[in-house]
Amino acid sequence: MNTTIRKIGNSEGVILPKEILDHLNLKAGDQFEIVETSKGIALRPVDDSFERQMEAARQVMDKYKVALQKLAE
């Protein structure tokens, strides 16, 4: 499938066809990592599960800060 780089405001971007988005279960707002390869570039969806886990851990540590400090002694 071919696409074209287009002017979007002060930036430039690529429009991904709906068929590709549907096939990969992606939607507007999903983030990608751009990886340079020997053949050009590759787009990979960002796996934010680690960041969500870290945020949950931070919330637990904030909530139980005193208890965790006591356990660390």
Domain count, the chain: 1
d(CA 51, CA 16): 26
C-alpha 71 chain-centroid distance: 35
pTM of the model: 0.50
Parent domain of 34: 5-72
Which 3 state secondary structure label does DSSP give 21?
A: helix
Q: For residue 51, what pLDDT is reported? A: 77
Q: For residue 7, what pLDDT is reported? A: 95
Instruction: Give the model's confidence band at 10: pLDDT under 50 very low, under 70 low, under 90 confident, else very high.
Output: very high
Instruction: Tell me the CATH number at 62.
Output: 2.10.260
pLDDT digits (tens, 9 = 90+) for 33-69: 899 999 999 988 887 777 778 889 999 999 999 999 9
